[in-house]
Amino acid sequence: MSTSTGAAASATSYEARFRVWRGDADGGGLHDFRVEVNDGEVVLDIIHRIQATQAPDLAVRWNCKAGKCGSCSAEVNGRPRLMCMTRMTDFARDETLTVTPLRAFPVLRDLVTDVSFNYEKAREVPGFVPPPGVAAGEYRMDQVDVDRSQEFRKCIECYLCQNTCHVVRDHEENKTAFAGPRFLMRVAELDMHPLDAAAQAGLDRRRTAQEEHGLGYCNITKCCTDVCPEGIKITDNALIPLKERAADRKYDPLVWLGSKIRRRGAASGPGA
């Protein structure tokens, strides 16, 4: 196995150069550290070593250290990453690593940012509407029908997509109008849920995607997909399909006509 080389390599620790942003909302800057790196370590290990040996009050948010909780989001050499999933072997040993907090959100302290923007946006998306008349335990869904929404539910809410999206990263003023990739994907997830009864309840998720969550701000430049640590195809599988669904109801008379005819022909269920 490849790991058997690891024991021999464990003697190969080295000293790395780090530049870590420290400060708070009133100001701050990059601080230099020289710190030991051992075999198999990730950036978060090094930040923890700095904390344990050189800067005990260095603030960093983390939790599972396994890429499952999405807490340790930061920017490493200018790229939004999960620190726990960024291996030191991705960098040359003589490279200086620059670690800063997420730059789209207000900073609280050191590497910790105020991500409440995301919680505010989460609240603006109406949740799953259970189908009336179907009791708990009676839900029947085919695997092929839940596959798409399940992909989106892999999201660990690390907010790297929200952070990297230039719509809000580069334009603070758009934060009110734009929900960001994560929550547009949530709308797509619910719109593709095989049993969501929003339409019966008078809620048009495609309309709200466009009019309330700012779908039109997205110019599909795909940075959200690039940074997603879960490998979710946010742009191709959620945002573009959502744009197409919005186009269905608003811009495509052929589809509109088709649905009119079908509706008159027979009372097929909503959304086919």
Partner 1 sequence: MATGTEPPRAPSPPARGTGASALTGVRSPGRAAVAARHLRTDRWWLQPAGTAAGLLAFVAYSVWRAFANADYYAAPYVSPFYSPCVAHDCVPMKGGADWDVFGGWWGLSPALLVLIFPLGFRLTCYYYRKAYYRGFWASPPACAVAEPHAKYTGETRLPLILQNVHRYFFYFALLVAGVLTYDTVLSFRDADGAWGHMGLGSLVFVVNIALIWAYTLSCHSCRHLIGGRLRHFSKHPVRYRLWGWVGKLNARHAQLAWASLVSVAVADFYVYLVASGVFGDPRFL
Partner 2 sequence: MTQPERSQWDVVVVGAGGAGLRAAIAARESGARTAVICKSLFGKAHTVMAEGGIAASMGNVNAGDNWQVHFRDTMRGGKFLNQWRMAELHAKEAPERVWELETWGALFDRTPDGRISQRNFGGHQFPRLAHVGDRTGLELIRTLQQKIVSLQQEDFRETGAYESRLRVFQECTATRVLKDGDRVSGAFCYARDSGDFFVLEAPSVVLATGGIGKSFKVTSNSWEYTGDGHALALLAGAPLINMEFVQFHPTGMIWPPSVKGLLVTESVRGDGGVLRNTEGKRFMFDYVPDVFKEQYAESEEEGDRWYDDPDTNRRPPELLPRDEVARAINSEVKAGRGSPHGGVFLDVSTRMSPEVIKRRLPSMYHQFKELADVDITAEAMEVGPTCHYVMGGVAVDSDSAAALGVPGLFAAGEVAGGMHGSNRLGGNSLSDLLVFGRRAGAHAAAYAGSLTARPAVDDVQVDEAAAEALRPFSAEDGAGTPSVPAPDSPGAQAPPAQAPPTEAPPAESPYTLHQELQQTMNDLVGIIRRAEEMEEALVRLGELRARARRAGVAGHRRFNPGWHLALDLRNMLLVGECVARAALERTESRGGHTREDWPSMDAAWRRVNLHCALADPAGTLAAADPERGQIALTRRETPPVRPDLLALFEKEELVKYLAEEEFHE
Beta bridge partners of 36: 15
Using CA atoms, how far apart are residues 59 and 21, in angstroms rounded to an integer?
A: 10
Query: CB 10 → partner 1: shortest distance, Å?
Result: 28
Determine, following the binding rule CB under 8 A, whether residue 198 of this chain makes contact with partner 2: no
Nearer to partner 2 among residue 136 and residue 272 (C-beta): 136
Q: Considering only 124-132, 163-171, 199-207, 216-224, which stretch makes contact with partner 2 by CB under 8 A?
A: 124-132
Binding mask 199-238 for partner 2 (x = CB under 8 A): ----------------------------------------
Residue 232 one-letter amino acid: I
Please identify which residue in 3, 8, 11, 78 interacts with partner 1, judged by CB under 8 A: 78
Q: Which residues contact 256 (CB under 8 A, 6 or more apart)?
A: 248, 249
Determine, following the binding rule CB under 8 A, whether residue 105 of this chain makes contact with partner 2: no
Strand, helix or coil for residue 242: helix
Four-residue CA torsion sign, 161, 166, 172, 178: negative
Please identify which residue in 44, 155, 227, 232 interacts with partner 1, judged by CB under 8 A: 227
Please identify which residue in 16, 44, 72, 115 interacts with partner 1, judged by CB under 8 A: 115
Number of CB atoms found within 10 A of residue 31's CB: 16
Using CA atoms, how far apart are residues 254 and 169, in angstroms rounded to an integer?
A: 37
Contacts (CB under 8 A) with partner 1, residues 149-208: 164, 166-167, 169-172, 174, 192, 194
Binding mask 38-57 for partner 2 (x = CB under 8 A): xxxxx--x-----xx---xx
Nearer to partner 1 among residue 30 and residue 38 (C-beta): 30
Q: Considering only 28-36, 127-135, 217-225, 244-252, which stretch makes contact with partner 2 by CB under 8 A?
A: 127-135
Tell me how far CA of residue 176 lies from CA of 28, 124, 139, 203, 213, in angstroms: 27, 11, 37, 21, 9
Angle at CA 35, nearest 5°, toward 30 and 59?
Answer: 50
